[in-house]
Amino acid sequence: MIAFQSCLILWSLNMTPRDNWVTRSDKKVKAIATGGDPAETGELRGILQTLQQLGYDLDGLFESLGLQREDLNNPNTYISPRACSMLLARANEEERLPNLALQLAIHTPIGANPLLDYLIGSSASVEQGLERLSRYLRIVNPAISVGVQNRRDSARVVVERTPGPFETELTVAMSLIRFVRESDGVMKPTCAAFSHELQDIQEYKRVFRCPIRSRASWNGWELSKSDLRVPLRRQDVRLGRWLESQAAEIIARQPKNGDIREEVLGFLTTQTTVGDLRLDTVARRLAMTPRTLQRRLADAGTSFESLGDQARKSAAEAYLTNTTLSISEVTYLLGYSEPTAFHRACRRWFDGISAQSFREQHSQSLNSRTQALRK
């Protein structure tokens, strides 16, 4: 996390490509990107911090959902997008601040969602940034999608599948404001549209500086075709390509269809160590009771124990292929108090072979592929 915080500070400076820190050291890029992994996997801590800065009682909001405030302060603790959406909905119900979604978009800084923000910011143009937003938004919230529709004289940034009006307003405002800022105001939206009635449409007109349509047939914003070619101020080809590779790996590990089995498994697999894999802890972080979670998993044809076993198997494969870790270290990381229990699990997972044999087979296979490439 320290490395990613350093990255945020550097990116807050309006540096030219010649001064870009990335061009000076590939190692710094890798340290920064890997250091922020827990915060990249679908978490929305930045928005919650902004909510507090706007005067909301986060302790009370967390307590109302059965969550713990310490979860926000611990970067290794997973906070599900579902729980975050419920917390924001509770805040919006308080009606303490008009146009809360718009205010969050205005005050949430670049880097609040590190990987997605830097993917967009490193893009060469508005068009490439929008393509990356469309492709990688699921890193932050898999429940929402953004697509770009090319029309005769314009392009539409369409927000779909949001849980409700609040999430729609937040996604539209966050995306529009980000691109206006990252283009230094050169990109100008031609209109914004919402399928629901806004609380204060005049405030949106003032901030967006474009016509606003309520009760429209779509949600999102529009820009001219020529503005797609507007360059972004912090474009960086090398950084963008490297971050795309990291984003692709994260998406490959994410749930595909959003059912409860994959949501729980997605949470469990974010734990780089054994963490706290108790049912009540996982249920709390998914903003539901343990009994509700058990019932929903049973309805989906699985159990918490089965998913925990799948998560440990996946982690074991990753740890065993990393030869810097000893077998005893892997045993500890996966939460086994006795080596014999871990070895029994490995034989069950890997068709009867031991952890050491699994590691040796992987090493031999890797050497064979390397030699074949050299020929």
Q: Which residue has the higher pLDDT, 270 or 342?
A: 342
| pLDDT score, position 227 | 97
Q: What is the tens place of the pLDDT at every residue in 2-18? A: 333 333 333 333 333 33
**Confidence bin at 19 (pLDDT 50/70/90):** very low
| pLDDT score, position 275 | 53
**Confidence bin at 59 (pLDDT 50/70/90):** confident
Percent of the chain with pLDDT over 70: 79
Full DSSP string of 177-240? HHHHHHTTT-S--SEEE-SS--S-HHHHHHHH-S-EESS-SS-EEEEETGGGGPBPTT--HHHH
Q: How far is CA 371 from CA 360, 364, 375, in A?
A: 17, 11, 7
Asked if residue 126 lies in contact with residue 179, where contact means CB atoms within 8 angstroms, the answer is yes
Shortest CA distance to 116 belongs to which of 103, 129, 107, 105?
129
List of domains in the chain = 2-238 (no CATH), 257-374 (1.10.10.60)
pTM of the model: 0.64
| pLDDT score, position 63 | 82
Is it the case that residue 258 has pLDDT exceeding 70? no
The stretch 133-160 carries a mean pLDDT of 90
For residue 159, the cross-strand partners are 146
The stretch 166-191 carries a mean pLDDT of 96
Residue 283 tokens, joined: 């249920």
**Confidence bin at 375 (pLDDT 50/70/90):** low
| pLDDT score, position 270 | 62
Average pLDDT taken over every residue of the chain: 80
Residue 248 tokens, joined: 């692709």
- What is the CA 315 to chain-centroid distance, rounded? 20
